């Protein structure tokens, strides 16, 4: 029995749960369930990232304490568990006491290594916005919103992390571990980025300006920059540094993230681990983005898709099926309700739903009995999942539904009599049982319903699994 650790990124709690995150966590959930069914001891982590400037500001704007604001949002993300039928067994919040201590401990290790140092940092500040600006936000050296005003340079002392120390070490790691980042072109992308030269990044902020963060050990005037503290969650979730046993059993693990997190996960975090003298992550799976109607989802465009709404409207498993099979695993995909409905209609309502109904009806009519079996997930499905090919795995399963349907029509099973009919129906029942077993990590509820109808010796017809969507 192996140990398996998988974690999502921690969504930042300044917005409602996004369908892109729903996809990320459903993928992680599918892998976690598959490993559990394979007999592995699984630690599946998710949670919320709660520190930083944006949250601090949002809380101030809403007129509540930052912690109160975070509590509210953490609950919203916690709601995903039932809405998406998730099986994670740890939900970390970066404001958890243990996590805060772990982040500080991690800091000390990097500091002891000589990778953290203080340096004067020039902050670009737009008086018009009353905000600090980054270079990428500036147009011709001026604020895009206030081009008439000069950008002020404010000097501030911050702590920096010697990212530059890890340039070669990171490149060596990429070279010696093909498949560390999946898909491979992302690893290559990162390799190019690192190879082109790394700048140290700041890892703290002045507490007087932004108090909502983890206090820097030994310097009460500074708090950690949110990245530094947030990344540590992947190991603090395992009880590091106090629970050595758990940490050693489960670390390193697999990290699932979106492509916007590529650098943080595959370079910065890895360098931080090297600095702290801890093993690197095992593997990082980077997914693409979801667009809506060909455009990025945004409130102003009004094209934001709420995953919880779809789950309520069409069912959790229908949403899981869609996000796992109809969406490109590695590239960006466009998501529309029309596409969703098509996937629902073909593979679910007309596919497994209809097959289950027709076979169960015939079996019930003749009081068919089929000896019970114990079935596991087939190797082809496991292999596809290990390569993060959720789409291929489901395609493989749906292929069996097609096979069964074809068999029924070709043999005209409903016209057969006696032993011959029993023979073919029993065969069909076994196909459905295998589909149910294979489906367990992807669509746990559907898998169970199928087993309720077809798992026992006596076959019983249940209600329709997926009711067709009638278009008017």
Partner RNA sequence: GGCUGGGUAGCUUAGUUGGUUAAAGCAUCGGAUUCAUAAACCGAAGACCGCGAGUUCGAAUCUCGCCCCAGCUACCA
Interacting residues toward RNA by CB under 7 A: 12, 49, 52-54, 132-137, 163, 185, 188-189, 192-193, 197-202, 225-227, 230, 259-260, 263, 289, 296, 326, 328, 331-334, 342, 345-346, 349-351, 353-354, 356-358, 361-362, 402, 405-406, 408-410, 413-414, 464-468
Shortest Cβ 29–RNA spacing (Å): 22
CB of 12 to RNA, least distance (A): 3
Q: How far does CA 259 lie from the centroid of its chain?
A: 11
Residue 374 or 410 having the CB closest to RNA: 410
Cβ 415 to RNA shortest distance, Å: 7
Cβ closest to RNA, residue 37 vs residue 396 = 396
Q: What minimum distance in Å lies between the beta carbon of 47 and RNA?
A: 12
> Judged by CB, which is closer to RNA: 35, or 124?
124
E strands in 303-376: 333-335
User: 225 or 388: whose CB is closer to RNA?
Assistant: 225
Full DSSP string of 166-226: GHHHHHHHHHH-TTSEESHHHHHHHHHHHHT----EE-EEETTT---SPEETTEEEEEE-H
Nearer to RNA, 181 or 437 (CB): 181
Of 97, 69, 68, 86, the residue nearest 13 (C-alpha): 69
Integer angstrom CA distances of residue 99 from 47, 92, 102, 236, 242: 12, 8, 5, 6, 11
Least distance from RNA to the Cβ atom of residue 353, Å: 2
Smallest separation (angstroms) from RNA to the CB of 22: 17
For β-strands 283-287 and 151-161, DSSP reports them as: unpaired
Closer residue to RNA, CB minimum distance, 32 or 198: 198
Q: Which is nearer to RNA, 242 or 467 (CB)?
A: 467
Give the H/E segment covering residue 132. strand 131-133
Q: What is the distance between the alpha carbons of residues 240 and 3, in angstroms, rounded to a whole number?
A: 16
Rounded CA-CA distance 367/228 in Å is 63
Q: Which contiguous run of DSSP H or E holds residue 263?
A: helix 262-263
Give me the least distance between CB of 39 and RNA, in Å please. Answer: 31
Positive/negative CA dihedral, 421, 426, 427, 433: positive
């Amino acid at each position: 029995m192996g140990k398996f650790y998988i974690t999502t990124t921690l969504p930042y709690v300044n917005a409602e749960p996004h369908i892109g995150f729903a996809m990320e966590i459903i993928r992680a959930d599918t892998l976690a369930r598959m490993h559990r069914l394979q007999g592995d001891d699984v630690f599946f982590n998710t949670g919320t990232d709660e520190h930083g400037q944006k949250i601090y500001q949002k809380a101030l704007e809403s007129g509540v304490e930052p912690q109160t604001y975070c509590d509210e949002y953490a609950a919203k993300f916690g709601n995903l568990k039932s809405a998406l039928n998730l099986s994670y067994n740890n939900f970390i919040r970066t404001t958890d006491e243990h996590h805060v201590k772990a982040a500080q401990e991690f800091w000390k290790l990097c500091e002891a290594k000589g990778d953290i140092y203080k340096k004067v940092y020039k902050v670009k500040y737009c008086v018009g916005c009353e905000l600090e600006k980054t270079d990428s936000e500036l147009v011709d050296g001026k604020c895009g919103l206030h081009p008439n005003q000069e950008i002020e340079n404010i000097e501030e002392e911050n702590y920096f992390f010697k990212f530059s120390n890890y340039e070669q070490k990171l490149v060596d790691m990429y070279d010696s571990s093909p498949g560390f980042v999946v898909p491979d072109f992302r690893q290559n992308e990162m390799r190019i980025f690192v190879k082109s030269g790394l700048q140290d990044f700041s890892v703290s902020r002045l507490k007087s300006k932004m108090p909502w963060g983890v206090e820097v050990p030994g310097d009460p005037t500074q708090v950690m920059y949110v990245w530094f503290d947030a990344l540590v969650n992947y190991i603090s979730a395992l009880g590091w540094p106090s629970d050595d046993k758990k940490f050693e059993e489960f670390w390193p693990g697999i990290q699932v993230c979106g492509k916007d997190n590529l650098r943080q996960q595959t370079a910065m975090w890895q360098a931080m681990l090297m600095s702290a003298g801890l093993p690197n992550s095992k593997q990082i799976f980077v997914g693409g983005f979801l667009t809506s109607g060909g455009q990025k989802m945004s409130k102003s465009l009004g094209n934001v898709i709420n995953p919880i709404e779809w789950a309520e409207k069409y069912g959790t498993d229908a949403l899981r099926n869609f996000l796992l099979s109809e969406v490109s695993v590695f590239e960006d995909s466009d998501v529309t309700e029309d596409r969703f409905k098509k996937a629902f209609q073909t593979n679910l309502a007309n596919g497994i739903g209809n097959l289950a109904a027709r076979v169960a009806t015939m079996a019930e009519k003749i009081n068919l009995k089929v000896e019970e079996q114990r079935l596991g997930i087939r190797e082809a499905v496991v292999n596809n999942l290990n390569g993060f090919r959720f789409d291929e795995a489901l395609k493989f399963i749906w292929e069996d539904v097609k096979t069964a349907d074809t068999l029924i029509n070709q043999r005209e099973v409903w016209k057969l009599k006696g032993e011959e009919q029993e023979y073919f129906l029993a065969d069909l029942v076994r196909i459905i049982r295998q589909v149910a077993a294979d489906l367990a990590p992807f669509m746990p509820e559907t898998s169970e319903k199928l087993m309720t109808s077809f798992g026992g010796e006596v076959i019983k017809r249940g209600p329709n699994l997926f009711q067709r969507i009638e278009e008017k």
